Amino acid sequence: MNSLSGRFLILTTVFVMLAEILIFVPSIARFREDFLLNRLERAQIASLALLADDMLAEDLEAELLANAGVYNVVLRRDEVRQLMLSSPIPDQIVKTYDLRDAGPWVLIRDAMIRFFTVENEVIRVIGEPVKGAGSLIEVTIDSAPLRMAMTDYGLRILGLSFVISIITASLLFLAVRVVLVRPIKGVVGYMQRYASAPEDARGIISPNSKVTELREAEEALQTLQTDLTQALKQRERLAQLGGAVAKVSHDLRNILTSAQLFTDRIEASDDPLVRRMAPKLVNSITRAVSLCESTLAFGRAEEPAPTLTMVRLREIAADVASSEQLAVADACVEILNNVPEDLVVRADPEQMFRVVLNLVRNARQALVASGKAGRVTISGSDCEDSWCIEISDTGPGLPPKAQENLFTPFQGGVRKGGSGLGLAISQELVRGHGGDLVLKETGPEGTTFEIRLPRGDGTI
């Protein structure tokens, strides 16, 4: 009975029985009242024989009382109380019931008391004679026949109630199975089928229930399955792309490592220009190798934790500006380093270089794409409880679609053909420092990103 329909069957049976019990109580009270009124009426009919003949034989009087089921009959007529029929009373009268002005609660109370009183008692019953035969009629009877009749009537009522409850519960059981259980099992079946093969579009439910609540559940499940299927497909594509990037990064790391060996010979050149540019080339190749190794670690979900040291932010900004200035030699874009000389922050130098480089490069590419002259400014300052690093530009601003998914991989790209990984990776690296990367402002006058690095070391 752990099924929904089984529990409905049990609950329906219980509730119908409770309803029948609530009906049983006033019914048994009404039966008792009718029983006593019937005794009064039969006693009145028996007393008519005395009115026809003032003298009755003892045998005839005893037979009339036995047929009426009473011990004696008292009739009040013309304000005169007259004992019409009488016989010996076996015991003392215990209780008197007046049916003339008894309310429903009094009748129910007296009926329940009598129903649960097992001992036989002699009771007096008072009522009004039928057809105006007097102002009052009074009889004395045993309570045992009354209780026996009430018990028999109650058993028949309970038996009928049980049959009605079984029939009602069975009909509801069938109705629940057809209207609720079968559609619910259908929804469960779709869920199980979808769980076994999420890529199979046939496992997505098609809402068809006519019950409002079930249809809402089916529609919600359909939406969930559709969104989950798309998410799983995107996850699969990302996994495949991640595998490809890992392979490319692995091979590229080997190539860059070989290139790093050649730079050692270049440093020995006598050409002043070569000797001046060689260190920058070495630094660039070293960072590229480090980036490939980090990419491989990221593909294995093993992005190394930042190695936090106190570094001069202006030196990192200078390296970024130098690298990007080479790329804009023929373009009208200026890279400005406005970081104070004495500003020292707690950060991983390589990771912070990557973050600032991504932001500056994005700004520079946006300016170049706009075809207008502009500048990118790197600045830093001491804030109240953190170090604030700002990368601002005078570019055209970010479009609304890019702002909605700014830090979402493969969705936050600003440039046409961009992957949107730069900002997502940058935010992840900054959060690894305990800080945050936010878009401070954007518009026709330009865009500003802010990096916030906490001053504290995270200890309490």
Summarize pLDDT for 93-111 with one digit per residue, the tens. 889 999 888 888 899 898 8
Whether the predicted pLDDT of 67 surpasses 80: yes
C-alpha dihedral sign at 169, 174, 180, 184: positive
Beta bridge partners of 127: 137
Going by the DSSP 8-state scheme, the letter that residue 202 receives in this structure is G
Most confident of 132-141, 172-181, 370-379: 370-379
Summarize pLDDT for 182-229 with one digit per residue, the tens. 878 888 888 888 788 776 666 788 887 777 877 888 888 888 888 887
Q: Is residue 15 a contact partner of residue 169, using CB atoms and an 8 Å limit?
A: no
Whether the predicted pLDDT of 415 surpasses 60: no
Q: What is the arithmetic mean of pLDDT over 325-345?
A: 83
- Closest by alpha carbon to 72, among 149, 137, 147, 146? 137
CA distance 96 to 91: 14
* Residue-level length of the chain: 460
Whether the predicted pLDDT of 265 surpasses 90: no
Q: How confident is the model at residue 376, as a pLDDT?
A: 92
Q: Which amino acid is at 15?
A: F
Pairing mode, strands 446-454 and 386-393: antiparallel
C-alpha distance from residue 234 to each of 239, 242, 246, 249, 412 (Å): 8, 12, 18, 22, 15
Q: What angle do the packed helices 272-299 and 349-370 form, to 10 degrees?
A: 100
The beta-strand segments (E) located in 21-169 are 72-77, 80-85, 93-98, 122-127, 136-142
Going by the DSSP 8-state scheme, the letter that residue 304 receives in this structure is P
**Largest Cα span, the chain:** 162
pLDDT band, very low/low/confident/very high, at 418 (cuts 50, 70, 90) = very low
Q: What is the arithmetic mean of pLDDT over 325-332?
A: 68
Summarize pLDDT for 356-406 with one digit per residue, the tens. 998 998 888 888 888 888 899 999 999 888 999 999 999 888 888 777 777
- Closest by alpha carbon to 33, among 146, 199, 189, 196? 146
Q: How confident is the model at residue 10, as a pLDDT?
A: 77
User: Which has more confidence, 445 or 256?
Assistant: 445
Domains of the chain: 4-170 (no CATH), 306-454 (3.30.565.10)
User: Which has more confidence, 233 or 353?
Assistant: 353
Whether the predicted pLDDT of 351 surpasses 60: yes
Q: How confident is the model at residue 221, as a pLDDT?
A: 84
User: How far does CA 231 lie from the centroid of its chain?
Assistant: 22
Q: Which amino acid is at 394?
A: T
Q: How confident is the model at residue 381, as a pLDDT?
A: 92
What stretch of H or E contains 374? strand 374-382
Q: Is residue 358 a contact partner of residue 425, using CB atoms and an 8 Å limit?
A: yes
- Closest by alpha carbon to 141, among 118, 120, 110? 120
CA distance 165 to 16: 5
C-alpha dihedral sign at 144, 150, 154, 157: positive
pLDDT band, very low/low/confident/very high, at 317 (cuts 50, 70, 90) = very high
Q: How many of the other CB atoms lie within 10 Å of CB of 430? A: 22
Q: What angle do the packed helices 182-196 and 212-266 form, to 10 degrees?
A: 10
Q: How many of the other CB atoms lie within 10 Å of CB of 248? A: 12
pTM: 0.43
Q: Across the chain, what does the average pLDDT equal?
A: 79
- Closest by alpha carbon to 393, among 449, 453, 332, 446? 446
Q: How confident is the model at residue 248, as a pLDDT?
A: 65
Q: How confident is the model at residue 54, as a pLDDT?
A: 59
